[in-house]
Amino acid sequence: MEPTEFRYWSRIDEPAVRAARTFAKRLFGFDPAPSEEVVRTFASMYYDADPLAEAFVDECFLARSYDEGRALLERTLAEGVDAIPDAPASLRALFADLDTDPTWVDRERVARGAKVFRRWGTSVFRFAGAITLAAYTESSVAKPLALTGAYAGASTRHRFLETASFWIDVSEPEGLQPGAAGRAAALRVRIMHVFVRRRLLGHPEWNLEAWGVPISQADALLTLMGGSVAPGIGLHAMGFRTSTVEIEDAMHFWRYVGHLMGVRPRWFPSSVREGVQLAFLTFLKSADAAGDDGKRLCQSYVDAFTPADDPRRPWTRKVADTLEHGVHRGYTRLFLPPHLYRKFELPPAGIWALHPIAWAPVVFAAETLRRRSSTLDRLADRVARRQRRRWLDRQLEGKEARFEPVRRFQR
């Protein structure tokens, strides 16, 4: 079973697609189209959700109250499930699953992949934000955000910063260990997704036949690729020298993060080659049917860092805000495909579009030195960690990342 907006099979035999596959085979040495079995498995994953977390939400949130369920979750994260008297069965099952490593996980690779992600610094935040806009052409991605208002208007900036906070927490050294901030953030996001999924499935505008379930395993898998394969390849334009082995370590890291978040796809790319094939599949299956919802989401994202018109704001902060807004627009203009930039009617970025690649020689030189010295490599890691945390603190201005579901629909 696959969603009706999954258009892969109607396009795979188009002359232009056949020509592109032939060219790619000669250039890269492999067919960018994955096997038929992989395509069918991926398509059916649009109907896979997260039954373990949903059982927990049913028993501990919906059968009680949201506030009581959230308090139980936070106490368990802080003290452990054994500290909870008469812990509900679904809570014990959820945490037993989290505390049992999957057979495929390699802790050393997880740590190496987290370090690769850290090395990309704040560049990967802006890069990932920009390429995500391409997914807003798809109803399965755009509709949950449009209906809940999660990335619309004034909320867009804070939601993006919540995501950046999550990226930082999960990729810190030991950040995914029991009791660590990253592990807790992964579970909070997981529970938030259950609420969004439940509410949207009951919404009159949600088209299950066309889109699958909200926040499906398929769309979640693509999100994991957006933090590993996509920046591993794309950030070469900025001078980063990420090797194939490092990209695959980042893939392993994000696979484990996904595991904690309830992302358990029945197929996961095991190599950069398979990641590229998944990207090809994603391009071909696109229905490009999100319409104005996708356009509004993209416009809200580009406007998210517009400086506040507040006369009480110090002039130094106003300058910093103006620079941040320019850099934000520059990344979006550079990394979002030009035809989509025009389609979404996004504003010109001017000279800011050159900002990401203007730093490429500096980044390339630093990367080269880092690769030649373990001392410099450790120093680079410390600097990247400090810079991204300072950036987040400056942007949040004292606010916190709460990872709470939207309580009301926008329509």
Helix/strand/coil for 64? coil
Q: What is the structure's pLDDT at 408?
A: 61
Per residue in 287-344, pLDDT tens?
Answer: 999 999 999 999 999 999 999 888 888 888 899 999 999 999 999 999 999 999 999 9
Q: What is the structure's pLDDT at 153?
A: 66
Q: What is the structure's pLDDT at 246?
A: 98
Q: What is the structure's pLDDT at 236?
A: 97
* Amino acid type, 37: E
Query: For the chain, which residues make up each domain, given as ranges?
Result: 46-50+106-396
Which residues, including other chains, have CB under 8 Å from residue 110's CB and lie 6 or more apart?
176, 252, 253, 256
Residues of the chain falling short of pLDDT 70: 150, 152-154, 405-411
Q: What is the structure's pLDDT at 411?
A: 56
Q: Please name which of 266, 207, 277, 242 lies closest in space to residue 118, comparing C-alpha atoms.
A: 242
Q: Please name which of 361, 337, 331 lies closest in space to residue 349, comparing C-alpha atoms.
A: 331
Q: What is the rounded CA–CA span in Å between residue 263 and residue 48?
A: 10
Q: What is the rounded CA–CA span in Å between residue 220 and residue 293?
A: 20
Cβ atoms of 296 and 342 within 8 Å: the answer is no
Tokens found for residue 194? 């259950």
Q: What is the structure's pLDDT at 166?
A: 97
Q: What is the structure's pLDDT at 312?
A: 84
Per residue in 147-171, pLDDT tens?
Answer: 887 676 668 998 999 999 999 999 9
Q: What is the rounded CA–CA span in Å between residue 62 and residue 69?
A: 8
Cβ atoms of 331 and 126 within 8 Å: the answer is yes
Q: What is the rounded CA–CA span in Å between residue 248 and residue 183?
A: 21
Cβ atoms of 382 and 154 within 8 Å: the answer is no
Q: What is the rounded CA–CA span in Å between residue 114 and residue 118?
A: 6
Q: How is the chain split among helix, strand and coil, in percent rounded to 5? A: 70, 0, 30
Q: What is the structure's pLDDT at 310?
A: 81
Q: What is the structure's pLDDT at 309?
A: 83
Q: How far is CA 345 from CA 77, 233, 254, 300, 355, in A?
A: 44, 27, 32, 12, 21
